[in-house]
Every structure is written in structure tokens, then in C-alpha cells.
Structure 1
């Protein structure tokens, strides 16, 4: 399994970094996980651009995580409908922004309820309903004995430990380094909490993502490392992990 980071910024993209977006590849199958704002240019830098993606998996319905299908549906190159997997109803508002049916041929929507298990290409996908401002699916991808656990955007939950147990990589929400403001404390994580979950789950590596724009990466990494002794990095465009 290989993970390529397209972006890892929370809320909005900066000039250097798009929002959450990752390509997970195994056996030549390329899964686009949470394609957020400003990740499309990174896709175009890859071989075959947006046409090299085999499926899309969305964790929740905030617009910085929803698929950008116009390049496939409105461009000159015709292609098969792209399978898109998302929690029930999570894409309704975003897709409704376009004229009804305009992108209908560009995608094939497969909705799931968090808690379901299903397959996408070579991946077995297990999901958990995790707390956020909108319903969010924590995602565990397994293939060939390798496990990637991804929280999506979430607040504290005992299910995070179950989601990540024994994973080779935990890709974790970490909006703030040390403490989440009280108003958002039930819906977002700190890097410190991400480190605690990584330790409890016994993961092999921790990758912090969804950092608030302008967050000092070294401060976030240090906060996570105070609670987790394993390798810690921040998800930045161009970072690659292979397991």
C-alpha cells in the first residue's frame, strides 16, 4: 500500500497547501481519499491526472472534502463514470450546486452508513461513525496485510482507538497542537490527543493532518511526540508513505 499526500490543510487551502486529499494505491488501483479544495492541481501533476483515479472515498460532507468531478465530466476526454463512496446524504448539498444532471455521467454514487464494511478494488473498508459537526466516517483500509487508519475530521471518541488498533499508519485529524477551543472540543482533535490515540492503539506511524492554516508544524509534531514515541510527521503535499 502506498499513500501520496495531495494536501492536509484544515478549513481552507493556503498558497502552498491544499485541504485534505490523499491517493492510496495498491496493486495498481488508485483510490482518491477526501479530495479537498486545491488538491486538483496536485492530481494533474500525476501520471494521467484526474483520469488515473479508479474510485473516490469521502469521509464526510464538508465542502473541503468533496469530489471535484467537473474535470472528468465536462472535459474533452470521455471516460467511464467514477465510483464515488460517501456517507448517506453527505454529498447532496455540494452536488446540488450544479444544474441537475449536469455531472450525472461523471460519477456513480455508492452511499454507505458509517459502521458498514465494504470493498473498493483491492481494499477492505471498515468504517466508524465519529463525532464532527456533520456525520463523519472514520475509515480503516486493509490490503495485503497492511492497514491504514484515517479519522477524517473528528472529536474525541473511544472508537478512534478501535479504528486504529495495530494499524501501520494512523492518519489523524490534528487541527490544534495542544488544546481545542472549548466550543469545538467535541468535534476536533489536537495533535496531543492524536498522539495519545496512536499510543493506545499501538500504531506503527502517526501522520498529522487537517492542521489549522498557519499552524507551526514543529509545534504540532512536538505535541504529538510528547504522547507517542513512534515516528510522527505532518501531511504535506508530496509526502509519500509505503507500507
Structure 2
């Protein structure tokens, strides 16, 4: 399994970084996870819109799903539209994004597969197990597995014992880390810190921790250091064009097909 980071910025994109977006590939199948703000242009560094085989969304906040819209437009309005794109998301999570165009305009561009967090299903070569994790809206933690590798991803979440269960023994634990040491009191039930991500990584016995969804302007080195206080294994911060071989290879940088 190969993981490519398209973006890992929380809340809104910056001039240099897109919001959450991850390309997960195995056996020639490309799964786009959380196409947040500004991820579609990053995706085009790796292939055309029609090279995506399926989309999987953790929750309905726009920094995790807004760029599904340009992706579907690019497919629907091309000279030779590809087959409808399977799109998997919690019930109702994509209603706002899919309503941006006139009714019916994108209807032939996608096939909707709504699920309830807690469900387990197959997408191409991947087995996806989901868990309900606490956030401002229903959020599905995602465990994406092949026979040889496991990627666990929190989406956005607050503290929960379910996080360690989701990530148990994962090769890569992709964890939200909006703040470094402390979440503001009003949001403490719904978001994590880099330090907490390190604690959950240790509890789950993961092989590698990858921090994501940092608040814009956060120093990645500070987040890295906070996580490493509680997790002794390899720690990295999700950055554009970071490529990881999940379960097999060390991190590599750089797009495979530069624009």
C-alpha cells in the first residue's frame, strides 16, 4: 500500500498547503481519502481526474470534502466522461457539496455509498473498517487494510478510547493533531493535540505516527517534538508530496509525475 499526502492543513488552506487529502494506492487502485480544500490541484500532479477509482470521506466539514466538487465537475464535463465515481461517506455528509451545482448536473458523475460509522465494507482491494469518533459533526475513523498493511486515520476527533482500538497495530497511524499541547476548552471534546496523538499511538502499538490537520501556522517541528514525548517510534508531519510505503517502505518525497 502506498500513501501520498496531498495536504494536511487544518481548517483552511494556506498559500503552500492544501487541507486534508490523501491518495491511497494498492494493486493499481487509487482511493482518494478526504478531498479537502485545494487538494484537487495537488491531485492533478499525480494523474487526471479520471484516474481516481473511488473516494472515501471521513466527515462533512469542507476542509475534508470540498474538492470533491471540482473533481466531479472535471469528470462530468470532460469530452469522454468516465464511469460514475464510487463515493463513500457517512449519511448526509456530502449533501452540501453535492448541492453546489444545478440539480442533476453531476448526477452521472458519481455513485453514492452512504455508511454509518461502525460499518465495514470493501473498496477495491481495501477492507475499510469504520468507528464513530467524537467531533462537531458525525466523523468516521477509518481503518484501511490490505492483507499486508494497515493504515488507520482519525479524520477529525476529540479524545476517545475508540482511537486506540481503531489504530491497534497499524503500520501507519494518520492522526489529527490540530493543536500542539492543549486544545481550547470550548473545543477540547472534539479535537486532539500532537501530544495526545503520541499517547494514542503508543497505546495502539503502531509502527509509525503521521500527524495531520495542524492549525495553519503551526510549526511542524514543535508538533513533532510534542508527539515524540509520548511515542518512541518514527514520527512525521503530513506535508504535500510526502509518500509512504505503508507496511513496507520508508518515506520518500516528491511527486511521481510532476506537473
Q: TM-score range by the shorter chain?
A: over 0.9
Distance in 2 between residues matched to 1:14 and 1:73, nearest whole Å: 28
Match of 2:163 in 1: 160
Match of 2:46 in 1: 46
Partner SS for 1:115: coil
Match of 2:183 in 1: 180
- Give 1:42 deviation, angstroms: 1.2
TM-score norm. by structure 2 comes to 0.92
1:151 to 151, 154, 159: 154
Distance in 2 between residues matched to 1:9 and 1:50, nearest whole Å: 22
- Give 1:75 deviation, angstroms: 2.9
- Give 1:74 deviation, angstroms: 2.1
Distance in 1 between residues matched to 2:131 and 2:108, nearest whole Å: 30
Where does structure 1 lack aligned partners over 5 or more consecutive residues?
none
- Give 1:59 deviation, angstroms: 0.3
Distance in 1 between residues matched to 2:11 and 2:77, nearest whole Å: 27
**2:237 aligned with 1:234:** yes
Match of 2:117 in 1: 114
Where does structure 2 lack aligned partners over 5 or more consecutive residues?
248-259
Q: Which moved more, 1:194-203 or 1:77-86?
A: 77-86
- The superposition leaves residues 91-141 of structure 1 with CA deviations (integer Å, 9 ceiling, x where unpaired) of 112212221111101100000000000000000000000011100000001
Q: Which moved more, 1:58-67 or 1:180-189?
A: 58-67
Partner SS for 1:12: coil
2:227 to 204, 211, 224: 224
Q: CA RMSD in A?
A: 0.8
Give 4+ residue runs of structure 1 displaced > 3 Å after superposition. none
- Give 1:35 deviation, angstroms: 0.7
- The superposition leaves residues 187-220 of structure 1 with CA deviations (integer Å, 9 ceiling, x where unpaired) of 0000000000000000000000000000000000
- Give 1:76 deviation, angstroms: 2.9
- Give 1:82 deviation, angstroms: 0.3
Match of 1:65 in 2: 64
Distance in 1 between residues matched to 2:109 and 2:122, nearest whole Å: 21
- Give 1:43 deviation, angstroms: 1.2
Match of 2:105 in 1: 102
- Give 1:62 deviation, angstroms: 0.7
Distance in 2 between residues matched to 1:12 and 1:128, nearest whole Å: 25
Distance in 2 between residues matched to 1:102 and 1:62, nearest whole Å: 22
Partner SS for 1:65: helix
1:212 to 196, 211, 215: 215
Distance in 2 between residues matched to 1:73 and 1:58, nearest whole Å: 20
Distance in 2 between residues matched to 1:135 and 1:34, nearest whole Å: 14
Distance in 2 between residues matched to 1:190 and 1:144, nearest whole Å: 31
TM-score norm. by structure 1 comes to 0.98
Partner SS for 1:153: coil
Partner SS for 1:192: helix
Distance in 1 between residues matched to 2:100 and 2:57, nearest whole Å: 18
